[in-house]
Amino acid sequence: MNNYPLLNLFWTMLWFFLWIVWLFLLFKVITDIFRSDDLGGWGKGGWLIVTLLLPYLGVLLYVIVRGASMGKRSAQEAQEREAAFKAYVRNAAGTASPEPKRGSHVDDLTKLAELKDRGALTEEEYQRAKTKLLV
């Protein structure tokens, strides 16, 4: 019943964990090969073949030879994603430019409310104009 000592279990878990980490690194390297703009088609094909035919050695060589540019590409992609997200949030919030836009819906609604408060518009006219602005 005690054929598998606890130390062997720890070694098995360690090797399994290292294998999972290597798989993540392999996928990261393969995606970096395809994402790299400074490699041509033959270069990408060569690195892909080396990485797939000699998996451990190929990944290790790629990280040694192209690790610095791999990190730069990852950082640049993260900055581009962050800039795109910020632009999306500004666009969705209606503040695409730092200064307020002239003639925006908020300004028009404010003017309509002021006209209604002064009595220049009836409630029915106000609702029609507001509906036109919001549609």
pLDDT category at 127 given cuts 50, 70, 90 is: confident
Which residues are CB-contacts of 49 (< 8 A; sequence separation ≥ 6)? none
Q: Using CA of residue 24, residue 19, residue 63, residue 47, what is the dihedral sign? A: negative
Instruction: Report pTM.
Output: 0.54
The per-residue pLDDT for range 24-67, each reduced to its tens digit, is 999 999 999 998 888 889 999 999 999 989 988 999 999 899 98
The per-residue pLDDT for range 62-121, each reduced to its tens digit, is 989 998 888 888 899 899 999 999 888 888 877 655 554 545 677 888 888 888 888 888
Main-chain phi, psi angles of 27, to 5 degrees: -65, -40
CB 94 within 8 Å of CB 104: yes
Instruction: Write down the pLDDT at residue 47.
Output: 92
Instruction: Write down the pLDDT at residue 6.
Output: 80
Which residues are CB-contacts of 108 (< 8 A; sequence separation ≥ 6)? 133
Instruction: Write down the pLDDT at residue 29.
Output: 92
The per-residue pLDDT for range 95-106, each reduced to its tens digit, is 655 554 545 677
Tell the residue number behind the tokens 């990190």, with chain if given: 71
Instruction: Write down the pLDDT at residue 68.
Output: 87
